[in-house]
Amino acid sequence: MKSATVHELKKELTALDPKELAELCLRLAKFKKENKELLTFLIYEAHDLSSFILELKKEIEAQFAEMNRDNLYLTKKSLRKILRITNKYIRYIGNKESAAELLIYFIANIKKSNIPIYASVVLSNLYTNQLKKINIIIDSLEEDLQYDYKKELESCVILK
């Protein structure tokens, strides 16, 4: 079965009445957990983005506190899990400023937790890839925001 394009889906969805549209959304939410989470975000939390980001930061901090630091393998797995969850919520938000803020917060927590990033190639690559990603996002923002985020990022960078 071939999937329809986003343009075709948009055209068809605008032709539906609100009741049918609600039924489709509920059916979509029942199908996959991520769809339900996105729908929950859009309905309940998208209107107050600042408090949602604050809650995400608390969740990230809690996950860093629970992180197993006994060996680098477990640390790597924990960091990847935190990053995966962070990126999922960044996709839900769909806002570059929020993405930069959350990823910088992730990097700041790595620095704060004193994880030996450069002791492992995998951790080092994960860290440098996030720095590259943050810089790309920051470069796409307005100049005044770029300055603020670059300043914040500079204070979080771990040097070799």
Whether 103 and 86 have beta carbons less than 8 Å apart is answered as yes
In a domain, 150, yes or no: yes
Per-residue pLDDT of the chain (160 residues; tens, 9 = 90+): 788 898 988 888 888 899 998 998 888 888 888 989 988 898 899 899 999 999 999 999 999 999 988 888 999 999 999 999 999 999 999 999 999 999 999 999 999 998 898 888 999 999 999 999 999 999 999 998 999 999 999 988 887 7
In a domain, 71, yes or no: yes
In a domain, 98, yes or no: yes
In a domain, 95, yes or no: yes
| CA atoms of 137 and 157, how far apart (whole Å) | 16
In a domain, 11, yes or no: no
In a domain, 32, yes or no: no
Number of domains forming the structure of the chain: 1
In a domain, 34, yes or no: no
3 three-state secondary structure: coil
Q: By residue range, what is the domain housing residue 89?
A: 48-154
pTM of the model: 0.87
Residue type, 92: Y
| CA atoms of 81 and 142, how far apart (whole Å) | 31
In a domain, 80, yes or no: yes
